[in-house]
Structure 1
Amino acid sequence: MNNKYRLNRKEIEQYLASREEEFLSGHDTGQGWERLQRRIARRRKKRVITRLAYMAVCLIALGCFSVWLSQEKEQQTLALQETISASTDDFPEKGESKAILFLSNGEKINLDQNHSLTDKKDSALFTNDRQEGILTYRKTAEAKPVQEYNTLVIPKGGEYQLVLSDGTQIWLNSESSLKYPVSFKGENREVILKGEAFFHVPQDTASLFTVRASNMIVEGTASKFNIAAYPQTSTKTTLAEGCVKIKTPFKELELFPNEQAILSSDNQLTTRAVDAHLYTCWTEGIYEFRNTSLEEITAQLSRWYNVDMQFKYPELKEKHFAGVIFRKEELNMAIETIQAVSDVKFTRQGNVIFIDRKAGRKEERNIYPIEHV
């Protein structure tokens, strides 16, 4: 059995050796190596081409994305420009100097239509400077036994300055009126205000200067003060310089610089410390506010620019802002800035400007800062 196994093993080895010779004789090892190298080269070339094609596709995709991004940016820029242009078209109003003078004889004069106006019929002479928006009175030698009154009315969207015959300088805000003597006689220096005005009263030892506004009487001399007495609001007197006395049906008090007297609708008189500049800067064409409700801001904008603003949601009135608005700029500037820093938007429908919420905008703060309007 062992001899048989050894024989078979020897035959097998001889067979394998003969098969190896046949294989080697039929295959040139040098040519085989070359063929192998050619196959490897073809595979490498195929991989390089594949990689190049992949890179080309990526570059084409990147190029298309860059073109799309550029077009998208251009479209966004155009959309922003169109928005700004549309806003400018929607809110083009600007504040201006305009007023109507009612003489004691009932004659009505549009001061913004009269470049130069002089009246010598009364005991005082007045001149109108439309360019500067100032109506000026001064005393004359002639005197009349009966005191005559003129009334200066400032419509919405207007403002005007007035210099009385005693030298008192007055700035009248929009939607206001002042009734005053053409020429002051004796100790009676009294005027009647509706709306808002700033008074610069010169020193006069002979008599006090008196302003009646709603249920409040303000008396003073050598002083500067602001009175806001619009309907359906509290009457506020803010003192910038000097000293004034405040009188109401139930109470009297003295007011000192940077103090404000507030008379509520139920005739409750209170005082508080304030920065007087915030309540007098409107005379310089500036509306500066701190922690002021949107309701108060839009009330001022409505008067300044002669527009009707309405809230779609009452809670929007309670949003508070801090910033500055310049009256000589278009209303668009104020609206654009308020929209940019808050979640409210302004839309115009005919003669009405509606104040609404922005879609999808979340509330982020209680007080919105406005750097410039």
Structure 2
Amino acid sequence: MSEITFEGLFKRYMSGTLNAGEIRLFRSMALQPENKALLSQLLQEAFNDPAYAESADFDAGEMALEVMMKARQSEAIPVLHRTKPSIVARPWFKYAAAAAIFLLLLAVSWEWNNRKKTGTGTIAQASQSPRGTARPMLILGDGTRIALDSAANGAIAQQGSAQVIKLANGQLAYKQFSQKNTGLVYNIMQTPTGCLYQLILPDGSHVWLNAASSIRYPTAFPEDKRMVEVSGEAYFDIAKDDRKPFIVTAKGMDVQVLGTSFNVMAYADEAAVKTTLVQGAVKINADRILHPGEQAVLHHASGELSVNKPDMEEILGWKNGEFYFRNTDISTIMRQIARWYDIEIKYEGDMSGIELSGIVSRTAKISQLLKALELTKIVRFKTQGRTITVMPYQEAN
């Protein structure tokens, strides 16, 4: 019986002759770091040969997506593919473009995996800001600002009847040391561009803040209700308390819960406020009930409130350290990129109808991400300092 090699499995995968068990073995071996260099070499050789690519019984984009989606069950592995036909006439080019994307982002995925193994806590991504100044900030009741990335672990402030504590894992938490009513004292937690942060509210509820977001909350909740205010995007896992409803206010939308998990997106540059329910039940603006998997959308221009069923992986991708796009228009994609990398976006030409799908780790450098988007042959970018100009690919040539 001949020895099974990764190279042999690769060639048979490309020709479509692997059985189900061999495909699983190939996927597993493709994700092993020791096979990284060989996989890159094999892909380059295969996709650089037009005759081979034209006659092979495979779809390169599907291959990349299959391998990466399989890996995402345990790791955050990025992949990007296009959702509209390439304008390039040569039939084999679609394979070469997909391969180039696959190779580029596969390299990023290994860097991401290595970082995860030596992670630096919940604010590790703060250091990604291109300008080097991104710092998660706690603003105390008297206006004092504390940069949390440089604050030592342990008690960092006293606010009313509570101690503010930075935990060993980097999270922020509150510990009540007195039952004496000292009045409401509010804190504000802010994340800049390029930074995620997690905190534990005084009632034990967990909050994840996306980039360029903030939450305002009392350091001790009163007896009748728990109310916080959000700008930007936040994911909540609420501690259940039937006596105290939890209320999130976000640019005209009120979300009332008892104990549940949900996502609120309320950026100033978006056309609507969106609340997406993951688990439990919430009431929107006092009368609209959401069920798990549903999203309430409050449109700024019309004031209309609608409910739909979104792609949950796309909604929660940021919380998992990913850009996750599924048939997402280019302007929405670029707004997310701008918040994360602290850049300004301009457009040239007709960008209508341009949609992309894909999964990219937020640890990728912006140059890698833009290069991956360009390899779709749909869009191209011009970089001048912190300004990125987006153009349709054909108009950029």
Paired residues for 1:1-373 under 5 Å: 94=128, 98-116=135-153, 118=155, 119-129=157-167, 132-232=169-269, 233-247=271-285, 252-265=287-300, 266-313=302-349, 315-316=350-351, 318-359=353-394
How far, CA to CA, are the matches of 2:265 and 2:159 in structure 1? 33
Q: Is the 8 A contact 1:151 1:179 kept in 2?
A: yes
Contact 2:128–2:195 (8 Å) recurs in 1: no
Aligned equivalents of 1:262 and 1:202: distance in 2?
24
1:216–1:246 CA contact under 8 A, matched in 2? yes
Distance in 2 between residues matched to 1:240 and 1:170, nearest whole Å: 14
**What is the distance in 1 between the residues matched to 2:320 and 2:163?**
27
CA contact (8 A) 2:141 2:159 kept: no
Count of residues paired in the alignment: 269
Contact 1:295 1:318 in 2 (8 A): no
User: Which whole-Å CA distance do the structure 1 matches of 2:160 and 2:315 have between them?
Assistant: 35
CA distance in 2 between partners of 1:345 and 1:275 (Å): 27
Q: Which deviates further from its counterpart, 135-144 or 257-266?
A: 135-144
CA 1:308 to 1:133, structure 2 compared with 1: closer, same or farther past 3 Å? farther
Task: State TM-score, norm by structure 1.
Answer: 0.67
Shift of 1:168: 0.6
- Take 1:305 and 1:116, find their aligned partners in 2: how far apart are those partners? 28
Paired AA for residue 384 in structure 2: Q
Separation in 1, partners of 2:245, 2:312: 22
- Contact in 2 for aligned 1:193/1:211 (Cα 8 Å): yes
Which ranges of structure 1 fall in alignment gaps of 5 or more residues?
1-72, 74-79, 363-373
Q: Distance in 2 between matches of 1:123 and 1:172?
A: 25
* 8 A contact 1:98–1:160 mirrored in 2: no
Q: Deviations over 1:20-44 (max 9, x none)?
A: xxxxxxxxxxxxxxxxxxxxxxxxx
Q: How far does the alpha carbon of each residue in 1:89-116 deviate from its partner, in whole angstroms, 9 at most, with x for none?
A: xxxx936983111100111111122242
Alignment check: 8 A CA contact 2:348 2:390 kept = yes
Q: Which of 1 and 2 has higher RCO (CA within 8 Å, sep 6+)?
A: 2
Query: Once the 2 structures are TM-superposed, how far is the Cα of residue 133 of structure 1 from its aligned partner?
Result: 4.2
Query: Are residues 317 and 122 of structure 1, via their aligned partners in 2, closer, same or farther at CA, if it must alter by over 3 Å?
Result: farther
1:328 shift after superposition: 1.7
Separation (CA, whole Å) in 1 of partners of 2:160 and 2:298: 37
Structure 1 counterpart SS, 2:351: helix
Give the counterpart letter for 1:342 in structure 2.
K
Stretches of structure 2 lacking an aligned partner (at least 5 in a row):
1-47, 49-99, 109-126
Counterpart amino acid of residue 265 in structure 2: A
Higher helix share: 1
RMSD (Å), alpha carbons: 2.5
Partner of 2:375, secondary structure, is helix
1:348-368 deviations in Å (ceiling 9; x for gaps): 112211112335789xxxxxx
Q: Structure 1 pair 100/156, CA: closer, same or farther in 2 (3 Å)?
A: same
Q: In structure 1, what is the Cα distance between the partners aligned to 2:337 and 2:172?
A: 24
Q: Please say if residues 178 and 192 of structure 1, whose CA atoms lie closer than 8 Å, have aligned partners that are also in contact.
A: yes
What TM-score, normalized to structure 2?
Answer: 0.63
TM superposition shift of 1:142: 4.5
